[in-house]
Structure 1
Amino acid sequence: MPPIRTDDLLDGGPSPSPAPPVLDLIAHQAHTRPDAVALVHDTARLTYAELADAVRERALALSAEGAAPGRLVALHRPRGIDAIVGLLAVLTTGAAYLPLDIQAPDARNAAILQDSCGDLAPTPAEVAAAGELVLPGPGAPAGAAYVIYTSGSTGTPNGVVVAHDSLAHFIAGAVPAYGIGPDSRVLQFSPLHFDASVQEVFATLGAGGTLVLRTDDMLDVRDLLAGCARHGITVLDLPAAYWHELVHVLSSGAVPLPGCLDTVIIYGEAALPERVARWRELTGERTRLLNAYGPTETTVVATVADLTRHGDGPVPIGRPLPGVRAAVVGGELWLLGGGLSYGYLSNPELNARRFTELDGERAYRTGDLVTIGEDRQILYHGRLDDEVKIGGQRIDPAAIDSVLSAHPKVREAAVVAQQDADGVKRLVAFVVTEGGVGAEELRGLVRERMPAAAVPAAVGIVAALPRTSSGKINRKVLRTTDPRLSVVHEEPLPAEDRVPLSHAQRRLWLLDQLDGPSCAYNMPIVLELDGVPDRAALAAAVTDLAERHEVLRTVFLAPEDEPYQHVLAASAVRARTVECPAGELRERVQDFVSETFDLARELPLRVALFVPEGGEGPAAVLAVLLHHVAGDGWSLAPLMNDLATAYAARAQGRAPEQEPLPVQYADYTLWQHDVLGTADDPDSAVARGLT
């Protein structure tokens, strides 16, 4: 076999040899700092000594059930202290843990258990009932620490087997790179079935820090940052897609970045250059920003870039960690070193395809296209299988994402290549906006900045993008999604569960279908204010308002050309902040209240706070824009009263104390249809009124 030509090679330098096992690092903390707090979950906490005792007790029970080197133990627990104790207990027995997604469909977890155990596989319900269950079947190699299943490019689950040695090697390089120590308080954000949890758990506990487990109310950006402030979080580890949304929210002025936060690590997807630039404008160098890259097959993270002082230009994924080498072969990134996993569980064919040799040393082919920049940092250019040729030109969809995301009214965007029945590829963009921007305007933006071949053939304005369980944008779903759909992250409700439109709503919906999006039925309220409201309190109050009134977070889907009310989460309604010169204030407000609504794709409520700079006039202007499909003249007073009540409470640092509404608009609709009947029933009130 001829030697493989390497385009370039980066060496992260030597790693500690031998790297201490992670269990030894944690045991050292329990011995030397027994009273230090190891775990926090809501109001519960465990010291290192208490953690060691709990792990020892659970490990004895698991050993009695057959857990030992070479065995696999499935882990199925909700986020909490028990899950961490169970995970560490499995490792203590010498077995490897296999975390299951507690929110995944039973069919996926059943497929994973079948793949790892064969015909003797237990059911997902049996694993859930036990919390930790020693699995029958062939098990895993004796040196394995964990097995994490990835979907792979085909959607078929592939179990990646990571050794104790690889885990120790990674932690030895990651802890100094991230700056984690005994004073660190790290948020455990990721679910355990995603390998980012590995660095959160083992880097923190191995360094003697405090691991704070995210509670269920800390998923929305505002609630997450409030929780970080409450717990004094110093290190935050986030999927890049989630961080993009966080930067967008910070830019609106709706919530501040907690002062306790000194390091943010992002991973999982390419960081958008304009979001990095905006982050620098917002934070300066107060909070360090690290861009981490690495496939599960090479133990969590292989390269890291410090973006704290990053200027303009492409965003790098950095340089290899100690003990890692990165080779560029034919434009593809190959990784070598002590972080390589054992490979895929019981899948020799896939192992042979993805793990190869370079100059006699085992290497992993990432499938990622990269180059090495002048500063000797790696630049990511997308996936080999994402390469798109349009009109003979190579197009990078991520570059189009970046252009679209630079629009001030775009919250996030994802561009994918879709293939039609004739085999022709076309670019399709899915965009979440704040309203007031249409598909043609966005296509025009791309046309101004990129080659004609990069202009998406279609732009879908959607309520939200689909996510994987780890928080990444699910581009696999988007590749087969019709851009005309308005809610791509949720399936339409079953026909029997759908609430029809009220008669007034149906009239407005029909007009929308005939005439297209219009501002004719806008109901604006514009208030000039003597002072600037607390932006974080206002943002939280708008979410409270949407939580209280379902109709404010309803879109009107028509999967079989028959519309129904589809209610979204309250967090889908966001307040925006607009800072502008005082001389432009009137025009900006007028533009806002004249924005159109697409009832199938956009929520019927928008709230904007305008803050003029310089000049005379109001200190701020609050504009609330309601579409008639969600209310009428009588609705405005209770809507504003509820918003005022919620803001007053949030400004005092508490949630509003309001009794839930006994009746929602959907209830009224069902009552109306019950009373009036249908036109095809000759005895109904509707039919009599038509005759």
Structure 2
Amino acid sequence: AAAVDGRARELAALGAGPGRLVALHRPRGVDAIVGLLAVLTTGAAYLPLDVQAPDARNAAILKDACGDLAPAPAEVARHGELVLGGPGTEPGAAYVIYTSGSTGTPNGVVVAHDSLAHFVAGATPAYGIGPDSRVLQFSPLHFDASVQEVFPTLGAGGTLVLRTDDMLDVGELLAGCERHGVTLLDLPAAYWHELVHVLTTGSVRLPDHLRTVLVYGEAVLPERIAQWRGLAGDRIRLLNGYGPTETTVVATVADLTRHASGPVPIGRPLPGVRAAVVAGELWLLGGGLTRGYLHRPELNARRFTTLDGERAYRTGDLVTVGEDRQILYHGRLDDEVKIGGQRIDPAAIDSVLAGHPAVREAAVVAQEDDGGVKRLVAFVVTEGGTGAEELRARVRDRMPPAAVPAVSTVVALPRTSSGKIDRKRLRTTDPRLPVVHEEPLPAGDRVPLSHAQRRLWLVNQFDGPSAAYNMPVVLHLDAAPDRTALAAAVTDLAERHEVLRTVFLAPDDEPYQHVLAPGAVRLRTVECPAAELPGRVAAFTAETFDLSRELPLRVALFLPDEGPGATLAVLLHHVAGDGWSLTPLMTDLARAHAARTEGRAPDWEPLPVQYADY
């Protein structure tokens, strides 16, 4: 409290007060929370900037907020909090959050103290937050999900646990939650989908103290809910929150803890929020409505309207109301796709693809060619060894022919700064590219392939994905290893050897070595009847590699459903090593596993050279 008061006095002396905006540019940490609370103490409104965003975006936001008096982003970063000049905002404003807007132009949403108080009063009991709660502060401050982590927790006297940067990895996140006794997790749906998939591999486990998980931001896949229920049962409450920034964070909540099947609801309105369905579109009313967009009178008039004389917000979301009076989400008005005269819901195809056991993530979008013809493209992240035709066949068996998309297997999906899948980017992404979450390296920075790699790459291009150059190592173990330790060891191995996390991109028809993050290599866990185990292992070692789209290393742990023992299979493609490579590879994996079993990272010396150096 003393730190907040002291910083508030400093800001007030610089002009902070009701009707003024104070830009906040700090990485996640105690200082950022202190700065945020200090701004509110002065009566001013805080405007959080994305510390990871390009300067051009932050400069555009500052220009929009205060016109010609806008400071440079670097100046804001130097101060941490900076009182902005210009017209400011209305007295009573608590914060201004900038959203990307449908056109990509940033729009500032002005949230008043009364709207914030209204939300906190409804969300605190709905989420079950109290003095004994320990809530992870997961979201960046420039995303309004941070509001529902910070204010209900501090207002109820709970403890706010600040996420560190390494906790974006699922394993590190859950381990950190275990260490700090986190009771409530608040996660973007896309991240939660990945977390559930990793949990199904058995390589990580849910923290003992976790009581509630709240997901938000995108449609929740029913396949992942079924997997979650198998893992968590009724022990952990699962909530699905829905709400545009324009209605203060979350407007409706559904309890999915016992959701068995059927469409996934977004629930019922929080206390004081009212919902109406007008021509299929969800309109929201009540005390949670914000003041609208900063300096955008025309947009305010278009999105904020009246219903029976009361101010209302048009969400642009298609919904229906179920028999149990819960609201069911059916996508965006602007996401509707007609293929061959049939209306297709891309989210339904997402769900079908996510039900495949080898699919980690999937996002289906409509792309439009130069002639205005639309087609569906599915960008899919898999465990490896699963071809596009197999996935298309799965959709073909379950949906009408017009819904069968082209399938592009990619290494990872692009994310927005708030953690959502960046579908806007995917709509204009070339599906022939295997890496869509980051740009290819500039030509001058590209490392060419070695002579041996180039030969294998050419063979792969001419003959297609093949198992001809697979180098399997299969170990039969008397006892099953600790899955969490083994999963961490696989990541350690990939971090130590860059070639194990390298794909071979050819954006200009000339291949180069593109190195990905260590977390791209994941342990696969397969549980099966003992009689099936030899066949499963044989199928794994015979999986094909597409060198332009898939990493050259796969590791799988096979566990019989009865009895002791396990089988560890390591599959290396010859493009990343030879016979001499297998001994140091397995030695490093064993060392890393031994260290992780003891609860520490391996203490090896960094390698003096990597394959790309050679």
Alignment of 1:463-502 (within 5 A): 463-502=411-450
Q: Provide the secondary structure at the position in 2 that maps to 1:487.
A: coil
Equivalent residue in structure 2 for 1:325, among 274, 291, 294 = 274
How many percent of aligned residue pairs carry the same amino acid?
83
Whole-Å separation in 2 of the counterparts to 1:274 and 1:367: 26
Counterpart in the other structure of 2:585: 639
Whole-Å separation in 1 of the counterparts to 2:324 and 2:371: 44
Whole-Å separation in 2 of the counterparts to 1:261 and 1:402: 27
- Greater relative contact order structure (CA < 8 Å, 6+ sep): 1
Counterpart in the other structure of 2:611: 665
Counterpart in the other structure of 1:205: 154
Equivalent residue in structure 2 for 1:245, among 187, 194, 210 = 194
Alignment of 1:320-359 (within 5 A): 320-359=269-308
Whole-Å separation in 2 of the counterparts to 1:108 and 1:548: 35
Over aligned residue pairs, what C-alpha RMSD do you find? Answer: 0.7
Whole-Å separation in 2 of the counterparts to 1:648 and 1:86: 43
Counterpart in the other structure of 1:127: 76
Structure 1 residue 614: Cα displacement: 3.4
Whole-Å separation in 2 of the counterparts to 1:388 and 1:586: 45
What letter is aligned with 1:58? R
TM-score normalized with structure 1 length: 0.88
Whole-Å separation in 2 of the counterparts to 1:633 and 1:349: 67
Alignment of 1:160-171 (within 5 A): 160-171=109-120
1:105 aligns with 2:51: no
Counterpart in the other structure of 2:371: 422
Moved over 4 A (4+): none
What letter is aligned with 1:572? A
Whole-Å separation in 2 of the counterparts to 1:539 and 1:202: 35
Equivalent residue in structure 1 for 2:386, among 437, 459, 475 = 437
Whole-Å separation in 2 of the counterparts to 1:140 and 1:199: 23
1:69 aligns with 2:18: yes
Whole-Å separation in 2 of the counterparts to 1:368 and 1:402: 19
Whole-Å separation in 1 of the counterparts to 2:237 and 2:283: 28
Counterpart in the other structure of 2:453: 505
Counterpart in the other structure of 1:653: 599
Counterpart in the other structure of 2:327: 378
1:629 aligns with 2:575: yes
Alignment of 1:266-345 (within 5 A): 266-345=215-294
Whole-Å separation in 2 of the counterparts to 1:266 and 1:70: 33
Structure 1 residue 216: Cα displacement: 1.2
Counterpart in the other structure of 1:364: 313
Whole-Å separation in 2 of the counterparts to 1:264 and 1:468: 21
Counterpart in the other structure of 2:340: 391
Q: Provide the secondary structure at the position in 1 that maps to 2:319.
A: strand
Give deviations 1:566-615, integer Å, cap 9, x for gaps. 00000000001001111111111111001010111100000000111237
Whole-Å separation in 2 of the counterparts to 1:361 and 1:80: 40
Q: Provide the secondary structure at the position in 1 that maps to 2:168.
A: coil
Q: Provide the secondary structure at the position in 1 that maps to 2:490.
A: helix
Give deviations 1:340-382, integer Å, cap 9, x for gaps. 0000000011101100000000000000000001111000000
Larger-Rg structure = 1
Give deviations 1:401-430, integer Å, cap 9, x for gaps. 000000000000000011111111110000
What letter is aligned with 2:440? P
What letter is aligned with 1:625? L
1:53 aligns with 2:2: yes
Q: Provide the secondary structure at the position in 2 that maps to 1:665.
A: coil
Equivalent residue in structure 2 for 1:90, among 39, 52, 57 = 39
Whole-Å separation in 2 of the counterparts to 1:227 and 1:248: 19
Q: Provide the secondary structure at the position in 1 that maps to 2:429.
A: coil
Q: Which 5+ residue runs of structure 2 have no aligned equivalent?
A: none
Equivalent residue in structure 1 for 2:532, among 554, 579, 584 = 584
Whole-Å separation in 2 of the counterparts to 1:636 and 1:356: 66
What letter is aligned with 1:463? V
Whole-Å separation in 2 of the counterparts to 1:373 and 1:534: 44
Structure 1 residue 391: Cα displacement: 1.1
Give deviations 1:191-215, integer Å, cap 9, x for gaps. 0000000010001000000001101
TM-score normalized with structure 2 length: 1.00
Whole-Å separation in 2 of the counterparts to 1:646 and 1:407: 31
Structure 1 residue 629: Cα displacement: 0.4
Structure 1 residue 664: Cα displacement: 0.5
Q: Which 5+ residue runs of structure 1 have no aligned equivalent?
A: 1-51, 669-691
What letter is aligned with 1:664? Q
Whole-Å separation in 2 of the counterparts to 1:582 and 1:175: 48
Structure 1 residue 74: Cα displacement: 0.2
Whole-Å separation in 1 of the counterparts to 2:565 and 2:78: 58
Whole-Å separation in 1 of the counterparts to 2:584 and 2:301: 65
Structure 1 residue 653: Cα displacement: 1.1
